[in-house]
Every structure is written in structure tokens, then in C-alpha cells.
Amino acid sequence: MNGFCSTTEAGGDVKLYLKTTGEQALFEWKIKREKYMHQLSAYAEFYTGIMIAAPLFLVALFSIMSFVQRQVMGFDILFLTRASTYLLIPLINLGFLLFLKGMEVEM
């Protein structure tokens, strides 16, 4: 607002001022948006590793372990598989969603 007032009081070209200010604001918005997209890309890779590969690895690990022994630290292998499927994975997903919501950039 100060720049607009200064331009009008000095007899400057208001149209040029508004055009320049608009272009600068658009450029800053694009830069901020690009940084946010790079962050989201990194988070997507992290999510893929943790939430897709890790559960598959756990299920395979529990399946192999069930042939060797029936319990781990006093817990049945089937219980651990169900607990990780129905509790651990949804809780980690919820935590990841809350993390993304907290990282959301205001545009």
C-alpha cells in the first residue's frame, strides 16, 4: 500500500507499478509453490518406503518366523501380524496425514 501511495503522490505510472508488483508477487508464489512440491516429492518417497515396502517386509518376516517359532517376546506371530495390519499401519498413516496437514503451505 505504501508503494502505491508513493507512486500516486510522486506522479508515477500506477499501471506500471501495479504490473511490476503483480509480476513480483506471482514470481514469489511460483518459487514458494515449487519448493513445496519438492518437499512433497521427498515425503512421497518416504511414505512409499515406510508405508508400502515395510508392511510387505513385515508380513513376509512374520510368515517365515511362524515356521521357526510360534511366539516372539511372548506374543503369537498371528497376533503380531494382525496388530501391525489393523493398528500399526493405520496409526502411522494417520500420523503421516497429520504431519502433511501441519506442513501445508498457505498460498
Q: For 11-64, write each residue's pLDDT tens digit.
A: 667 788 788 888 999 999 999 989 988 988 998 898 888 888 888 898 898 889
Q: For 82-94, write each residue's pLDDT tens digit.
A: 998 899 889 999 9
- Cell numbers 504431519 correspond to what residue? 99
Q: Between 105 and 58, where is the model more confident?
A: 58
DSSP assigned state of 106: P
Q: What is the mean pLDDT of residues 91-98?
A: 91
CA distance 76 to 78: 5
**CA 66 distance to own-chain centroid:** 35
**pLDDT for res 102:** 86
Domain edges within the chain:
2-103
